Structure 1
């Protein structure tokens, strides 16, 4: 009977450690996915800003609502680049004077 109880406790402990390992593996997988998304967004942002700096003019006297660099395209449209690399159009009257 003592051997049975001892083996049962050993099996239960092994089961708990396996469940813990699976949750840790899941968390690591989620962390890797989140890191990949962040790296992709930053890469897109840097690439978009680089392209905009080469092809479009930078508005030197004004900035966006949160201090973003403002670009002017060939159609005289104003925009800034967000953290995901997208062009965000902005009206000229919403620009802030650069300090």
Structure 2
């Protein structure tokens, strides 16, 4: 199959290098895509802050996400109430500082 021992050694070295490079690539991908508890908490806080700073008259009223709107969609009304409660909490919390 192989003519001499050097070809076998070279083949084994190539296999070891290939496996090691695949292992290091997988570890790099795992480290980059790891989604821990801190990342989840940080993204939740940023999302809630983004909802809190939306202007009711300029943005939310145009797309129908104000609690006063009588839309037939319960999900939109629930989202509107959620945004309103976040904004109310932010307003009262900033007054206490």
> What's the TM-score, normalizing by structure 1?
0.45
More strand by share: 1
Which structure is higher in RCO with an 8 Å CA cutoff and minimum separation 6? 1
Q: Quick check: which has more Rg, 1 or 2?
A: 2
More helix by share: 2
> What's the TM-score, normalizing by structure 2?
0.45
